Structure 1
Amino acid sequence: MKFIWIIPLLIGVFVLFPEIYAETITQNLEGGMDIQITYPEEIVSGREGVISILIKNNGWENKEDISFGFSLSAIPTLIIEPSDRITLDRLTQGGSYGENINLQIPNDASLGVHFLNLKYSHVLVANNKTPQSPFFHDIAIPITIKEGPSVTIHTKMPESIFSNAEFPIETEVLSKDIDITNVRIKIIPPKDIEFRGETLHTFSKIEKNMAVAITSRIITPIDEVNIEYKLPFQIIVTYTDDVGLNKEDSQTVSVVLRPRTFMELTTDGGIWIGSFFIAPYVSLGTIIGIPAGAIISLLIRKKQNSSKKRPKKKKL
């Protein structure tokens, strides 16, 4: 039986992703008015999504009576907070204004892409004295509604491994749409593989768009292999979603165990030369698994054998 031991470092690393899986619409309008709208890539039915609106007056003339109005016909019973209409009395040169709009998607909303229409208007004040006719502009914001929240599992490991060496394996869990609680991450190795250390990791909570990464080390068998074969690992994640339902997601990943070539570099900086391993953390000349005295003896014996084979000079 071949054995692989994995020594978990048990490092639960919380990584904050700067991007929130969102899309952005940028519009450059009359009079130097710039609008940037950031909206979620997807919104789960029955949950909330946030649209962020940022406007800036890059023109040299003031703008008055600025307004944003949302049309609700695309998604019936959609709730917009704080209001489906935003108004500003004035925005001077170089001024800016930002607002977050919460969208409460109804449970019975049809799945797929819907376009939320945003009607924008402003009045340009010519020479900062004379108001002009209102300027109107429509912006279509695509809103994709999906059935349920998604939890993704990403496992990173080498494509192939060889015997008597160490290799990294990292499993990352990310909840894209909601906070999840009572999280259990279980790693199930193949039946003929021995897994040393913790195979189950628990977290009380994983926040939305915050990843948890578990980093471990795979230590391959000492015995050499003559053929390639795959070693499957299964990762199962169970959790409780934001409405109290218990969910499960899983992933199966495989790594190829192959014969070692004549020269192989390991991830920790060591090197295999044939059946000899030179460690990266020892002094020069130290070879793991081979006593230094034995190496010296081999060199001396080789030199002696070479001397014996030299032809003797004939005496005159």
Structure 2
Amino acid sequence: DSVIVGRDFTISVFVQNNGWEDKKDVMFSVDSQSPDIVAKNQTIAANRLSKSGSFGGTLEFSSVQSSELGMHYLNAIYSHVLLSNNETPQPKMQKNIAIPITIKDEPEIHLRTTTPTSIFENAEFPFDVELLSSDISLHDVLVQIVAPSDVTIRGQTSYTYSVIEKNTPLSIKTQIITAPTQVTLEHKLPFEVKVEYVDDAGKQKTTSKIVEVLLRPRTFMEFTTDGGLWLGNFFLAPYVSMGTIIGIPAGTLFSLMVRRLQKKKKTKRKKQ
């Protein structure tokens, strides 16, 4: 696991007897071999642990402010005495366990965005954001999406959360709408995602990310992300089936021809 320099941290311990016989003098202790990590209480123990019995506890540690960044190890020792037939003590069993701890300078905040590789005018596209804190829980969180003047965002541009738990991803799904103005030259549009939060030490922090999306001229035939279709300047909505897409032009022309013929026939009848 990882901890932040100068912060306290804990290790939770749970011991369960899955054997068929009782155990006594059960002990779990953790010792720090590094001067960068200070142990506050190092041992939990139980006098006797019956079959299917369990016990646990929390061991407290702190990393000093001048800690060397990187990987450190804590030495854990587990031991017990097995009672044969729940009465006769056997030789003490002991096991050593190395617990790796990574000391970091700052909490790691992951800010990811998912967008199309390119967009075109007069259409709508998804713009998704994912926020993940690997090391700490975040409090009083404000997420803002700042779009360039060439596009607008459907719905909210800012989101607030009282808390985002450690290792719990937050997903925000929104839509960007490009202006109907014709694009003649392709160029990149900068989007900024800003996150403000309060860390576990009560300090106000900010992180941000800039994403560039290519805005290009629309080609003769373009499929939109919601299933629509542009054919030149003619747009077919996503709820129109392919059969209808093929039939609309011919059906429209046929309908016009029928109406014209009907009008001519009606006119001839009037002359008679």
Matching of residues 1-316 of structure 1 within 5 Å: 41-76=1-36, 78-80=38-40, 83-190=41-148, 192-195=149-152, 201=158, 203=160, 205-209=162-166, 210-225=168-183, 228-260=186-218, 263-281=221-239, 296-299=251-254
Q: Mark the CA change 1:241 to 1:263 in structure 2 (over 3 Å): closer, same or farther.
A: same
TM-score normalised over the length of structure 1: 0.67
Pairwise CA RMSD of aligned residues? 3.4
Residue aligning to 1:20: none
> Deviation string for 1:21-49 (max 9, x for gaps)?
xxxxxxxxxxxxxxxxxxxx210112232
Q: Mark the CA change 1:71 to 1:234 in structure 2 (over 3 Å): closer, same or farther.
A: same
Q: Mark the CA change 1:302 to 1:164 in structure 2 (over 3 Å): closer, same or farther.
A: farther
Three-state SS of the structure 2 residue aligned to 1:243 is: coil
Question: 1:117, 1:188 → 2: CA distance?
Answer: 48
Residue aligning to 1:13: none
> Deviation string for 1:232-275 (max 9, x for gaps)?
21222233333343322111112223444555443323334454
Deviation at 1:277, TM superposition (A): 2.6
Same amino acid, percent of matched pairs: 41
Higher helix proportion:
2
TM-score normalised over the length of structure 2: 0.77
Deviation at 1:68, TM superposition (A): 1.0
Question: 2:217, 2:84 → 1: CA distance?
Answer: 78
Q: Which runs of 5+ in 2 are unaligned?
A: 259-272
Question: 2:37, 2:151 → 1: CA distance?
Answer: 55
* Paired residues of 1:164 and 1:221 also in contact (CA < 8 A): yes
* Paired residues of 1:175 and 1:206 also in contact (CA < 8 A): no
